[in-house]
Amino acid sequence: MAIRTYYWNQLKVSRYKYYKTRIRNPKKEVFRYGNSGDIFAGNLIQFLYGNQEIINVRRDINRLLLVGSTMSVLDRGDIVNGIGWKGNDLSDRQEIIESSKVFGVRGPLTKSLFEKHGTDLSNLKFELDPGLLIKEVCNLKISNNTENNVIFIPHFHDYWIYNGNYPRGIKVVNIDNTPKKLAKEIQKAKLVYSSSLHGVIFAHALNKECILVKPQTDEPIFKYRDYYLSVGLDFPEPLSSIHAINFAKDQGTMLLKTYGMNDFYFPDQSFLKQSNIIT
């Protein structure tokens, strides 16, 4: 059996092509593993439904959409189960949004899009990002946390923009990592700076203080606000860049409560079969 889904992973290339590109064209954006927050969808599916084949398709119908800002690819028959909206114009998808089956959204701003289009939200179970389940999905224990260093998790665009130019005293952790490897790096940190949304989410879920850094591109702040609202935190003023750090003054955020599986809902396999998502 196979589960149909979609998560963003367009820049992932083979190991050979990755290293070839890094040598010949070091400014070209490519992934060795993928954007950790997006590919977490695959880990979550296997955690929930066993080691089944995952069919990752961008343009298709009848998919289980779990993680990421993928509202722009929403189509008929898809189940919305944790994805988010980034505030872009989706008026051309009004009928699809209106008829969507929605069990979960990333936050209240995403919910507002469905409300605007008159979507039936009677089955909406949660307004949270499933990335908060990193601890459960990757079988990690908070008791294993240490406080070894200060780390910075740049948004994947920022990784190339900073181009290795970072302040002293910070360890840079690439978002191009498996979710578990990234999470273990976070567990070793005494403080996390991040311009990656899922860097923030994973840090919060792993009980680490996190300071938001403004993305150095036009990455929508909307989706960050959506997440902070979902967990009841005031949206912090992001640092203008990682070069604006001040270890003596910077104050991060931590979650007000611990989130776990009981805070989420995921349809069972029989429902996914009936919905033609498991084939």
Q: What is the pLDDT of residues 242-274, one digit of tens each?
A: 999 999 999 999 999 999 999 999 999 999 999
What average pLDDT does the segment 47-54 reach?
Answer: 94
pLDDT of residue 18: 82
pLDDT of residue 12: 83
Any bridge partners for residue 210, and if so which?
A: 192, 253
The C-alpha atoms of residue 103 and residue 80 are separated, in whole angstroms, by 6
CATH class given for the domain over 135-244: alpha beta
The C-alpha atoms of residue 77 and residue 110 are separated, in whole angstroms, by 19
Could you give the strand order of the β-sheet that contains 53-56, starting from the edge strand earlier in sequence?
53-56, 2-5, 64-65, 79-81, 101-105, 126-127
What average pLDDT does the segment 204-231 reach?
Answer: 98
Average pLDDT of the chain is 95
% the chain with pLDDT above 90: 87
Task: Return the structure tokens found at 268.
Answer: 């069972």
Kindly report, residue by residue over 18-33, the tens digit of the pLDDT: 888 888 888 788 889 9
- Residue identified by tokens 């992932």 is 12
Task: Return the structure tokens found at 151.
Answer: 């780390």
* Pairs from 245-253 (Cβ < 8 Å, separation ≥ 24): 245/167, 245/170, 245/193, 247/150, 247/169, 250/193, 250/211, 251/211, 252/191, 252/192, 252/209, 252/210, 252/211, 253/204, 253/209, 253/210, 253/211, 253/212, 253/228
Q: Which among 101, 94, 104 has a CA at the least distance from the CA of 63?
A: 101
- Residue identified by tokens 């805070």 is 263
Task: Return the structure tokens found at 160.
Answer: 């190339």
Q: Which among 132, 131, 148, 162 has a CA at the least distance from the CA of 67?
A: 131
Kindly report, residue by residue over 81-95, the tens digit of the pLDDT: 999 999 999 999 999
Q: Which among 93, 87, 66, 64 has a CA at the least distance from the CA of 77?
A: 64
Domain boundaries, the chain: 2-128+261-274, 135-244
- Residue identified by tokens 């640092």 is 239
Burial track 189-225 (b if 16+ CB lie within 10 A, e otherwise): bebbbbbbbbbbbbbbbbebbbbbbbbbeebbbebbe
- Residue identified by tokens 């898809």 is 78
pLDDT of residue 189: 98
Burial class (CB in 10 A: 0-12, 13-18, 19+), 182: buried
| Amino acid identity, position 42 | G
What average pLDDT does the segment 158-176 reach?
Answer: 95
